[in-house]
Amino acid sequence: MRFIHTADIHLDSPLHGLSAYPDAPAEQLRGATREAFRQLISVAIEERVDFVVIAGDLYDGDWPDFNTGLFFCAEMGRLQRAGIPAFVLFGNHDAESQMTRSLRLPDNVRRFSASECEVHTIEALKVALHGRSFKKRDTPENLLASYGPAIRGYVNIGVLHTALEGHVDHASYAPCTLEQLHAQGYDYWALGHVHEHQVWTGRSTICFPGNLQGRSIRETGRRGAVMVTIDGDGPPQVERLFVDVLRWEHLDLDVSACEDLDAVGRATGQGLARLLECDAQVPRAVRVTLRGESAAHGELFQRGGELRAHVLAEIAALGPERLWLEKVKLATRAPAPADTLDALDAAAPSALLGADALADLQALLAEARHDDALLKELRDDFAQMLGKAPDLANELPLLRQVREGDLSALFDAVLPGLLARLAARE
């Protein structure tokens, strides 16, 4: 017996983070959740699975456009013509949806009640599916208490939309523990709500399939559902199915060895090429974060626009139809001041602004750290700037420290770049 377990589809939910990119494929972005679901249904039909389980958050809140629901009905119709039933449990997002309450679904779709735990059986397979939908979005109680015992002689599958316990990134709806799930005595738990894929084994096999399609940079990597195979008395076997049609990636790159902007651009291009080694046919939306103690630190901050242009040039060379840039973030550090001074002096020993002058300037800046009047003036200036653009501090760790009154990191960051700029001009 084989079935597909999916959850957190969020049909027609928008993808965030690429609207500012002029060449982003708007139509592909708008249709990503639909296309991923369409591919999943195609897999179900091609593999001739016995049934499909949807463990909550099919929709994404109270959408006014019934076209979303009509699309779902059409896909369920494809399953019906193939003789495949679908068991649908509604989660916190579905509880708000008008479509959940009023849209008539094809006869092969069986919904779980929100009033009590409901059991659906497939007699030919001796399968019993236990589940309870959300009646309202805010469901803080443990719904597991309403689930009945396993039915003897059947394969028992529990369907539950839950945060479990300890998933702080997700609202704590219908919380329960792994121990409670195992104690229920079911063979398999088809969970939803947590968007990351996870599997636990033991008395029961417990699984979050992860969401079907990543919707922002917070949902990186391969996304999809799971194929579950139950053969004889052995435990259920879980295999991942990847059906996402646009993938979010985070390229976290150490540029410590890069001496200048050109070297950083080349290293970024190599990192982007590595991303395409897996599932090259799936387009990527990429956030690039540069880290490390680099001699290019000052130049990167001074020439932020050129840095973005360098990354876009690398993307253009690799194939703009396969990669889009979500953002470039800088998290580099400047080398220690003494190392920077030695490097500059060695690189330009005959410069008009020599090592002695640089050393004097370094000493002056070191004294500025203890100048109370200057520090107060800087804090006031930064407070005024961050008051006008409060999100800046969330983007740059350095500005978060400044907002909290700590200017030491600011001096550490500015000094190497200032010395490098002066030496380069000379």
Question: Mean pLDDT of residues grouped by 10 in the chain (426 residues)?
Answer: 96 71 67 94 98 91 73 95 96 66 84 93 97 82 91 96 72 84 96 95 96 91 96 92 94 94 94 92 92 90 89 91 88 71 49 57 69 80 76 66 74 64 58
Q: Where are the beta strands (DSSP E) in 264-348?
A: 284-293, 323-333
Do the Cβ atoms of 19 and 285 come closer than 8 Å?
no
Between CA 365 and CA 213 the distance in angstroms is: 50
Q: For tokens 């949807």, what's the residue? A: 54
Between CA 212 and CA 215 the distance in angstroms is: 9
Q: Torsions phi, psi of 45, nearest 5?
A: -70, -45
pLDDT score at 350 = 43
pLDDT score at 205 = 97
Tokens in use for 190? 């088809």
H or E stretch at 203: none
pLDDT score at 34 = 93
Residue whose C-alpha is closest to residue 86's, from 168, 203, 197, 5:
5
pLDDT score at 352 = 44
**HSE-up of 314 (CA within 13 Å, CB side)?**
23
What are residue 328's DSSP bridge partners?
A: 288
Tokens in use for 398? 């350095």
Residue whose C-alpha is closest to residue 311's, from 294, 295, 332, 289:
289
pLDDT score at 93 = 74
Is the dihedral angle over the CA atoms 411, 413, 416, 419 positive or is it negative? negative
What residues does CATH 3.60.21.10 cover in the chain? Answer: 2-242
Looking only at the bridges linking them, the beta strands covering 237-242 and 224-229 are antiparallel
H or E stretch at 5: strand 2-6
pLDDT score at 178 = 94
Q: How far apart are the first and last CA of the chain?
A: 76
Residues for the chain: how many in total? 426
Between CA 340 and CA 358 the distance in angstroms is: 10
- In order of 155, 290, 333, the CA distances from 397 in angstroms are 52, 13, 11
- Class level of CATH domain 2-242: alpha beta
Between CA 267 and CA 262 the distance in angstroms is: 9
Is the dihedral angle over the CA atoms 93, 97, 100, 105 positive or is it negative? negative
Classified as helix, coil or strand, 137 is: coil
